[in-house]
Amino acid sequence: MRTDQLPKKTMPVRNWAEKYTQIRNQSIEICRPLEIEDYVVQPIVDVSPPKWHLGHTTWFFETFILKPNFPGYEVFDSQYNFVFNSYYETVGAHVIRTDRGNLSRPSVSDVYRYRDYVDEKMIEFLQGDYLTESLQSLLELGLNHEQQHQELLLTDIKYILGHNPLFPAYKNDLISPSIKINTSEFISFSEGVYEIGFQGEGFCFDNELGRHKVYLNDFEMASQLVTNREYLEFIEANGYQDFRYWHAEGWDWVKQNETKSPLYWHFIDGKWMNYTLNGLQEINLDEPLCHINFFEASAFASWKEMRLPTEAEWEVASNHFEWGKRWEWTNSAYLPYPGFKKEAGAVGEYNGKFMVNQTVLRGASVATPIGHSRNTYRNFFSTHLQWQFTGIRLAK
Amino acid sequence: MRTDQLPKKTMPVRNWAEKYTQIRNQSIEICRPLEIEDYVVQPIVDVSPPKWHLGHTTWFFETFILKPNFPGYEVFDSQYNFVFNSYYETVGAHVIRTDRGNLSRPSVSDVYRYRDYVDEKMIEFLQGDYLTESLQSLLELGLNHEQQHQELLLTDIKYILGHNPLFPAYKNDLISPSIKINTSEFISFSEGVYEIGFQGEGFCFDNELGRHKVYLNDFEMASQLVTNREYLEFIEANGYQDFRYWHAEGWDWVKQNETKSPLYWHFIDGKWMNYTLNGLQEINLDEPLCHINFFEASAFASWKEMRLPTEAEWEVASNHFEWGKRWEWTNSAYLPYPGFKKEAGAVGEYNGKFMVNQTVLRGASVATPIGHSRNTYRNFFSTHLQWQFTGIRLAK
Amino acid sequence: MRTDQLPKKTMPVRNWAEKYTQIRNQSIEICRPLEIEDYVVQPIVDVSPPKWHLGHTTWFFETFILKPNFPGYEVFDSQYNFVFNSYYETVGAHVIRTDRGNLSRPSVSDVYRYRDYVDEKMIEFLQGDYLTESLQSLLELGLNHEQQHQELLLTDIKYILGHNPLFPAYKNDLISPSIKINTSEFISFSEGVYEIGFQGEGFCFDNELGRHKVYLNDFEMASQLVTNREYLEFIEANGYQDFRYWHAEGWDWVKQNETKSPLYWHFIDGKWMNYTLNGLQEINLDEPLCHINFFEASAFASWKEMRLPTEAEWEVASNHFEWGKRWEWTNSAYLPYPGFKKEAGAVGEYNGKFMVNQTVLRGASVATPIGHSRNTYRNFFSTHLQWQFTGIRLAK
Amino acid sequence: MRTDQLPKKTMPVRNWAEKYTQIRNQSIEICRPLEIEDYVVQPIVDVSPPKWHLGHTTWFFETFILKPNFPGYEVFDSQYNFVFNSYYETVGAHVIRTDRGNLSRPSVSDVYRYRDYVDEKMIEFLQGDYLTESLQSLLELGLNHEQQHQELLLTDIKYILGHNPLFPAYKNDLISPSIKINTSEFISFSEGVYEIGFQGEGFCFDNELGRHKVYLNDFEMASQLVTNREYLEFIEANGYQDFRYWHAEGWDWVKQNETKSPLYWHFIDGKWMNYTLNGLQEINLDEPLCHINFFEASAFASWKEMRLPTEAEWEVASNHFEWGKRWEWTNSAYLPYPGFKKEAGAVGEYNGKFMVNQTVLRGASVATPIGHSRNTYRNFFSTHLQWQFTGIRLAK
């Protein structure tokens, strides 16, 4: 059970403007500690420059809500579609993703002016009488999209600062929530038919829909996440040097990148240090492990002679343990639920087209915005990516 | 139901030598039409030179059966381990895979001498009193391994000859089995708990084990494979030019490779031609489509407003339609069945380590050796690969 | 004869501080029109972020002059060596060049504080009694190094802004010097022994030293640079489609990049447009051609049934025509003059180690700082690079 | 002075057939020790499969001599143009160079049948009355082209066998010519005007033409090539670990390839071994060094505090020392001599288009066919290539 979860309820129409403002401001809040330069760079293709996130989420509201539905709306700058579009193939040519880090313009202040302009129009729009039911869905999608990018903002900012040789802190006064891990126990679940998938009235993404039955064998789930201490044992047992624990593709990844530890771990002067949003610090052994990819998660589980849970097991078990600190790698591929249908139009591109060669993560992390998590949420990433706030929960 | 399927029965010990000889000879039979030069090249990394297949399967018997179990056995050439090892990380350094096509030595006649030497020793061994139960399993694995490489031999030979500007035929007298496709109907299956996975007494791979229950929703399966005629309609409806039918990763593949048709199709002087093992021929519209990858299979299904079956659906339905002409792409990722355990030692590397970012194919193809197929068989390849004899069966 | 050339004279010691200040300020002047974001990005490996240029030239004075020679000097930040070092292998590990565009820190204001700090110390140092003759040489090298980077600043800023889809102008009020091209004639020179290489008292780089005799055949040099008009004729005569005019390596470059015009030319709505520091403008046909690489220069000359001059021809002829608007591609490889010796130490890495697979450009360009040009100056770049202010002078 | 040099004389017309036969047979002689498999592979892009060399040189005579000049000639196989063309852009589309190693057909016996067919027709043709003066030139070019490929055959065969883990010998009975190296002395030459370039009546390539004057400073040339012994001293003095001796581009090459010795040297069980055409052998310290690239040659010279000669120095001095054992790296870029003109048509592509980013080698090697060398010959390769029989002669 995630404690910070908002109660599911239908939004009264008059509160949309307030909710819009609150969520949009949160993105700006996340960027407040940045220098202008930090908004611009893109050290690897998976990371986007913060100013791109700010522009892209704004573009979503402009393109899908204001432009087609707000009479008389004039786009802020017609060239921004080209710059801030992401994957949406239906909405014109887009800057190839690797190029985002080459664009010094629009400047950060231009992007903020763009946000102000669109926010002002959105408030006008929301206070008008335009909000049909399908527009409400789209608006809610836009706000959840904004929240997804808030999480990406944090992960990308951490990457940008954490890969700078000066190791600047994001915030010097950031209080890391004290995370106490109790001894892990295994909770047992019995064989049988279970139901998974979203139901109820709140918002969910299309990929969670289609509540359906699954048949599960007996299984056990760890009550706690794997800690830094446990993972350090794996490192010290030469886990990164023994191919037997790894998938073939994971072993190639280890050898090619000469990987020897999770992302952000540095062995300096005989000590394991960890780049955190507060800067470089000694490893806290009692904290849950963070920033490992699927290959590492699997190898660790294999070394423990256990395994990662499937996403169905995770969802079924999720009311019996605390989650929300780390995105938890499952051993499930990201595939459609029975009866899944892509929606028509650009928004229909949202999830379905990624349903291949991706692995599901469940739960949420310390970087996930409050209210943007539920136990049916299906996050997904490629198996080699470490830069999310990811962790391990063992199953057997 | 596959008609050429051998009855499952336990092999009487005295027949092992005969079976060994029969299966081993089949590999040589496949290579008989080749020129020596055809044994040597490796046009892409996924294709191996035929002489490598011949050497590698021989190396399997030498390394895992003769060397550790046949007293006094002397290896044919100690350097061959280096040359003919494949992925088995436990058995010493191996030539990186891309290098196979650079090796002119051992020569083809050396490889045949190697086969003769090992076969002679294997017959001696099999006629002796060495065959414990676990050695029988290993022997059976070796023979199935040989058969897997027989299928790869055919697919790789087709690639080697089919990518030569002279388009040489593999055999000029090859009679393609007349494949008649009836009008496809959809067969319905009801929601409920089903069982899948291998059971019984014959041989199976470790990845098929763990007969287990799955819960399936109502579904329908096509009784027939998709034909060239149907796929040509997709091409002519600009299916390769419309991103909406494709996974994002599939669309990148289409654009990067400027793909416009299945592998081996060539549009020449206004006609669609097809490279077959008999040489370049006009497309036979009534034959089942062949040589498409997962992206193409999915895009076609999406254009038809249907979908690919899951592997569980396929297995449950498989007794109600004919299969065995094409490996049929499913929409299932290749993942372990409940309770799957990697075996210890080199043989344990066989399947488990590939269980990530691969997609399951079910059935068998015209290239699959007789007796080497069953409806629980889990074949798997990367989603971009076209060179296997793959086809499409629609579901909804 | 270049008209803006300063008279060669020895610098009176008391004027070093003034000269230092004047040259250092010029770098800042060049960056004044930039947004902070423009200082940060690196769209291609050959372009460096402006803040890197500002830091790197400062690092030169700190590392080679202040640190070893100014008693009590404390480095501004010991980690900056790592960030602002360039190729100097003797001065510790350096950030690989492609990474410069990933570094958001040090921030632009930090870099300016670094410049202020080092400049203040340098002025103190120059007003003291420290300046031995060899330090004077080093100081002069540092100032010429700063001027080289001033030219690179302009070329890199043009690339950064010119490859942004918004095509921002560098300065809106920039008055492009009116460049009038007269009809070109050919000036004849007779066969015989000539002398080239630097002599006299002013500053020169080590690669210009070793005044030496060369034997030249009869040759003729164009009095004028090739204009946009002439180059457009080459384009319209399908010069980019006919391999016969190109070196094999140049032809590969054309095909791989699908090049159809000089850098910054765009064919928009039926007109050839040109990105200039004033923004996107229609091509001025009478201006000297700019931003072509060696392959293009050679292909144009070949189409004209002429050739590019050698650097010796250029130097011998240079007093008979006006130069200084474009760096002029020669057909000479960048190689040592007779008797060339690398100096010891880090400064010795300056030029010699680049003397392979580079082509010489002679003259200077509109981006070259006043006073930083002479007819013995040997500029050099790889044959595929277009981003310098390069042009063509024909010979026969 | 090369002792095996044939006297320059005009070929009496009646001897062309004999000369043709003799030179063509030599190619076959070189391939006689090969297994069929050795004819097929292409381990790196710079190496061509032996059967390609045999086909390509045959294609030259068919395409440029027989097809346009021999009435009634029918091409052997019209598709061979596609397979055996090399760079000649005027003669239709050609298989990209990296693909040569993927082609199992035409088979080796087909290629020999192609040779037989063309040779028979050529003899008929040469015994007829067709040989105009310009055809004689073309024929002579074809024969010299054949000889160039004979040298490449040897270098490529050595690469193919020398990069096979079995290290097969090319010939077991090959007697390496005993090469005795005397103590090297330096021969002095005085400053002044010299002449270089081909003159006389025999054959030469277009790049040697334009006998012309050059001005040389005083210089000294070593009478002997650098030996393995001397180069081993460089290795043991950590020459491969000290960037100061290397060009920047060479140093990148060393680091990227982790190079520690010349090609074919292997440090095995505490001894330096050398792959030779006789197989793997201990290094002969008294032999002239072989198989180093330009970067290595330059670095060695720099370590010796000397330099490589220019090609003009080499040619001027060449009558004063023995040459012909190794191609000798010069420090000259491969550029046109004064007055160089590309010939029209496909043959005109022969040399001119490579005159960029290549470095000149002078002399000849043990792999150069008898009669195919002269002191004006300008060989050229890229600076990173080691696979030719290259050596070092120092200058100062």
Chain D residue with CA closest to B159: the answer is: D102
Q: Where are the beta strands (DSSP E) in D262-396?
A: 265-268, 271-276, 279-282, 327-333, 359-363, 379-381, 390-391
Among A127, A162, A197, the domain boundary falls at: A162
Residues 6+ apart with CB under 8 A from A91: A63, A81, A85, A346
The answer to whether residue C173 sits within a structural domain is no
What CATH number did the domain enclosing B240 receive? Answer: 3.90.1580.10
Give the span between the Cα atoms of D121 and D75, in whole angstroms: 10
CB proximity under 8 Å: B 60-99 to A: 87, 89-90
Q: Give dist(CA A281, CA C99) in Å, integer.
A: 24
Per-residue pLDDT band for B3 (boundaries 50, 70, 90) equals very low
- In the block, residue with structure tokens 């980019």: C240
Residue C106 CA from chain centroid, whole number: 26
Q: Specify the 3-state DSSP secondary structure of C395.
A: strand
Q: What is the mean pLDDT of residues B103-119?
A: 97
Query: Nearest to residue B39, comparing CAs of B115, B118, B101, B116?
Result: B101
Instruction: Tell me: pLDDT of A2 over 50.
Output: no
Two tokens, residue D126: 């040469």
Smallest CA-to-CA distance from A369 within A12, A25, A9, A10 is with A25
Cross-chain Cβ contact B193/A215 below 8 Å: yes
Please state, in angstroms and rounded to a whole number, the distance separating the CA atoms of residues D58 and D74. Answer: 14
As a whole number of angstroms, the distance between CA A350 and CA A359 comes to 17
* Inter-chain CB proximity B249 and A298 less than 8 Å: no
Nearest-neighbour CA in chain C from D290: distance (Å): 21
Q: Which residue has the tokens 């794996």?
A: A234
Which chain C residue shows the shortest CA-CA distance from A100? Answer: C43
Å between A388 CA and nearest CA of chain B = 19
In this structure, are B140 and B214 located in the same domain? no
Does B294 reach chain A within 8 Å, measured CB to CB?
yes
Q: What is the mean pLDDT of residues A364-370?
A: 95
User: Tens of pLDDT along C93-136?
Assistant: 545 445 889 999 999 999 999 999 999 999 999 999 888 988 99
What 3-state class would DSSP assign to C18? Answer: helix
User: Using one digit for the tens of pLDDT, what is the confidence trace for C243-295?
Assistant: 999 999 999 999 999 999 999 999 998 999 999 999 999 999 999 999 999 99
Angstrom distances, CA of residue D347 to CA of B125, C244, D66: 64, 12, 15
Least confident window among A115-119, B319-323, C344-348: C344-348
- Per-residue pLDDT, D99: 80
Contacts of D166 in chain B (CB under 8 A): 79, 83, 105-106
State whether residue C267 sits within 8 Å of chain A by CB. Answer: no
**Tokens (6 digits) for C167:** 């095509």
Partner chains of A (3+ C-beta pairs under 8 Å): B, C
- Reading the block at residue B151, the tokens are 């299928």
Q: In the 8-state DSSP scheme, what is residue D249?
A: H
- Per DSSP, the three-state class of D179 is coil
One domain, residues B243 and B105: no
Contact C123, A59 (CB under 8 A): no
**pLDDT tens-place string over residues A58-95:** 999 999 999 999 999 999 999 898 889 875 555 555 45
C37 touches chain A (CB under 8 A): yes
Is there a domain that residue D245 lies in? yes
| pLDDT classification of C180: cutoffs 50, 70, 90 | low
Our answer on whether D and C touch (3+ beta-carbon pairs < 8 Å) is yes
Which amino acid type is present at position A300?
F
Classify residue C260 by its DSSP letter: -
Q: Given pLDDT bands bounded at 50, 70 and 90, which one contains residue C358?
A: very high
What does the pLDDT average to over C171-200?
83
Best to test chain C binding among A37, A109, A113, A163 (most C CBs inside 10 Å): A37
- CB-CB under 8 Å, C37 with A39: yes
What total number of domains does chain B contain? Answer: 2
User: In D184-278, which residue ranges form alpha helices assigned H by DSSP?
Assistant: 228-236, 248-257
**CA A40 → CA A1, A78, B273, C41, C165, distances in Å?**
38, 21, 51, 7, 16
CATH code where residue D55 lies: 1.20.120
Contact status, residue C88 vs residue C141, Cβ threshold 8 Å: no
Q: Which residues contact C110 (CB under 8 A, 6 or more apart)?
A: none
Does residue D90 lie within any of the structural domains? yes
ipTM: 0.93
pLDDT at D2: 45
Beta-bridged to residue B77, according to DSSP, are none
Cβ distance A101 to C105 less than 8 Å, yes or no, reads no
Please tell me the distance from the alpha carbon of residue C147 to that of residue C26, in angstroms, as a whole number: 9
Q: Which residues of D touch B165 (CB under 8 A)?
A: 79, 82-83, 95, 103
Q: Does D353 touch chain C (CB under 8 A)?
A: yes
CA dist., res. A300 & res. C39, Å (int): 43
- Minimum mean pLDDT among A22-36, C77-91, D7-21: which range? D7-21
**Helix-strand-coil split of chain A, %, nearest 5:** 40, 15, 45
Alpha-carbon dihedral sign for residues B113, B116, B122, B128: negative
Q: Which helix (H) or strand (E) holds D154?
A: helix D133-162
B332 touches chain A (CB under 8 A): yes
Residues D281 and D142 in one domain: no
Question: What is the residue type of B277?
Answer: L
Query: Would you say residue B93 has pLDDT above 60?
Result: no
CA–CA min distance C229, chain D (Å) = 26
Residue A121 predicted with pLDDT over 50? yes
Give the other-Cβ count within 10 Å of B3's Cβ. 7
pLDDT (0 to 100) of residue C85: 84
A190 has a chain B CB within 8 A of its CB: no
pLDDT digits (tens, 9 = 90+) for B36-58: 999 999 999 999 999 999 999 99
Is pLDDT at A3 greater than 50 in this prediction? no
Neighbours of D309 (CB within 10 A): 27
Residue at token pair 């077959």: B276
Predicted confidence band of residue D6 (pLDDT cuts 50, 70, 90): very low
Identify whether residues A217 and A335 lie together within a single domain: yes
pLDDT at residue B179, as a whole number = 61
Which of B109, B130, B162 terminates a domain? The answer is B162
Q: Which domain holds residue C261?
A: 186-391
In a domain, D172, yes or no: no
Q: Residue A97's pLDDT band (boundaries 50, 70, 90)?
A: very low
The verdict on a CB contact (< 8 Å) between D215 and C217 is: no
Residues on chain D touching B102 (C-beta within 8 angstroms): 41-43, 101, 160, 163-164
| Any domain includes D29 | yes
**Chains C and A touch, contact meaning at least 3 pairs of CB atoms under 8 angstroms apart:** yes
Note whether residue C1 is domain-resident.
no
Regarding pTM above 0.80, the answer is yes
Residue A297 confidence class, pLDDT cut points 50, 70, 90 = very high
CA gap C150, C56 in Å, rounded: 12
Q: What percent of chain C has pLDDT over 90?
A: 80
Mean pLDDT of D9-13: 53
Task: Name the residue in chain D with its Cα closest to that of C350.
Answer: D248
Split at pLDDT 50, 70, 90, the class of B318 is very high
Please indicate whether, in this complex, the C-beta atoms of D335 and C332 are within 8 angstroms of each other: yes
Non-local (6+) Cβ contacts of D78 within 8 A are: none
Q: What SS3 class is residue D365?
A: coil
Read off the pLDDT of each residue in C3-23 and give the average, rounded to a whole number: 67
For D107-162, how does the pLDDT look when each residue is reduced to its tens digit (9 = 90+)?
Answer: 999 999 999 999 999 999 999 988 898 899 999 999 999 999 999 999 999 999 99
Residue C222 belongs to a domain: yes
The verdict on C261 and C304 lying in the same domain is: yes
Final residue of a structural domain among C105, C127, C162: C162
- The Cα of C367 is separated from the nearest Cα of chain A by a number of Å equal to 22
Question: Distances from the Cα of B35 to the Cαs of B39, B160, D104, in angstroms?
Answer: 7, 12, 8
Contact A128, A68 (CB under 8 A): no
A142 with A229, same domain: the answer is no
Distance of alpha carbon C223 from its chain centroid, rounded?
22
| Domain identity same for A191 and A312 | yes
Name the residue among B322, B308, B321, B286 with its Cα closest to residue B361.
B308
Residue linked to tokens 């002095």: D188
Would you state the pLDDT for residue B1?
41
Phi, psi (deg, nearest 5) at residue D329: -65, 130
Structure token pair of residue C301: 């000359």
Residues A202 and A90 in one domain: no
Beta carbons within 10 angstroms of residue D143's beta carbon: 24
Of D246, D298, D335, the CB nearest to C331: D335
- Contacting subunits of B (3+ beta carbon pairs below 8 A): A, D
Distance from C-alpha of A43 to C-alpha of A39, rounded to nearest angstrom: 12
Spatial CB neighbours of C325, under 8 Å, sequence gap ≥ 6: C179, C225, C288, C363, C365, C366, C391
Q: Rounded to whole angstroms, how far apart are CA atoms D229 and D283? A: 9
Whether D295 and D342 map to the same domain: the answer is: yes
For residue range B170-203, list pLDDT tens digits in order. Answer: 987 766 655 666 778 999 999 999 999 999 988 9
Q: Are residues C200 and C303 in the same domain?
A: yes
Q: Is residue A195 within 8 angstroms of chain B, CB to CB?
A: no
Mean pLDDT of B268-297: 96
More confident residue, A11 or C21: C21
Q: How confident is the model at residue B246 (pLDDT cuts 50, 70, 90)?
A: very high
- Token pair recorded at residue D28: 């076959």
pLDDT category, A172, cuts 50, 70, 90? Answer: confident
Distance CA B368, CA B361 (A): 13
User: Which residues have C-beta within 8 Å of that of residue B313, sequence separation ≥ 6?
Assistant: B189, B216, B219, B221, B330, B395
Mean pLDDT of chain B: 91
Domain membership flag for residue B177: no
pLDDT higher than 90, residue B22: yes
Return the pLDDT at C174. Answer: 65
D284 and D345 inside one domain: yes
**Do residues B207 and B289 share a domain?**
yes
Q: Is C393 exposed, middle or buried (CB count within 10 Å of its CB: 0-12, 13-18, 19+)?
A: buried
Flag if C217 and D247 touch (Cβ within 8 Å): no
